[in-house]
């Protein structure tokens, strides 16, 4: 399997910076794993979009889109589980 490139939307990057420092390292580690396996164990496909998925990192969720034809994983949102789907 080819390696995927990770791209962050500006809004997702800003959301990441607002997280507690310990969570930032966990989220970045989980996102970096997506470059090797964009559909890890526990991933959920979001109903609202054809290409959107989410992974859990503690109480936080990382919403991302997989563009398989270009081998890109684009991080769309990083938020607490109570706010991520609003």
Q: What is the mean pLDDT of residues 18-40?
A: 95
Closest Cα to residue 7, out of 73, 57, 86? 73
pLDDT value, residue 37:
93
Q: Cα 63 from chain centroid?
A: 4
Closest Cα to residue 40, out of 22, 56, 24, 58? 56
Residue identified by tokens 């997702």 is 12
pLDDT value, residue 15:
95
Q: How confident is the model at residue 84 (pLDDT cuts 50, 70, 90)?
A: confident
Going along the chain from its start, the domains and CATH numbers come out as: 5-80 (3.30.2310.20)
What pTM, to 2 d.p., does this model score? Answer: 0.92
Mean pLDDT across the chain, nearest whole number? 93
Give the bridge partners for 66, in sequence order: 73
Q: Cα 30 from chain centroid?
A: 8
């Amino acid at each position: 399997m080819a390696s995927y490139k990770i791209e962050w939307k500006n809004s997702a990057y800003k959301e990441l910076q607002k997280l507690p420092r310990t969570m930032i390292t966990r989220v970045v580690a989980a996102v970096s794993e997506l470059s090797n396996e964009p559909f890890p164990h526990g991933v959920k496909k979001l109903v609202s979009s054809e290409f959107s998925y989410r992974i859990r990192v503690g109480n936080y969720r990382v919403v991302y889109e997989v563009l398989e034809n270009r081998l890109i994983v684009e991080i769309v949102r990083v938020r607490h589980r109570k706010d991520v789907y609003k």
